[in-house]
Amino acid sequence: MTNITLSIDDEVYKKMKNFSDIRWSEFVRKCIQKRVEELQKIEIDGWDTLEFLGDEKLLAESWLSKEDEKAFEYLQ
């Protein structure tokens, strides 16, 4: 097995320490594995047959700031 090194923001690292029961290297390994499989599927099947790979929770969040929402109130 090959080792890699990655950088994590200090703040994220502090938060990760609160969840010491999680094997973070295994978690990251599985995330990378899944993403590689998704990318291989794209190469084989093409974009036309691809399911959307976005994060549903992230996509459900409003990307507008409060200032943006005020600016666009007149459109509603």
Domain-by-domain residue ranges, the chain? 23-75
Whether 6 has a pLDDT exceeding 80, the answer reads yes
| 66-74 long-range contacts, CB within 8 A, separation 24+ | none
Q: How far apart are CA 32 and CA 42, in angstroms?
A: 15
Q: How far apart are CA 63 and CA 29, in angstroms?
A: 30
Q: What confidence score (pLDDT) does residue 63 get? A: 62
pLDDT tens for each residue of 18-74:
998 889 999 999 988 988 888 888 777 776 655 555 666 666 666 666 666 666 676
Whether 10 has a pLDDT exceeding 80, the answer reads yes
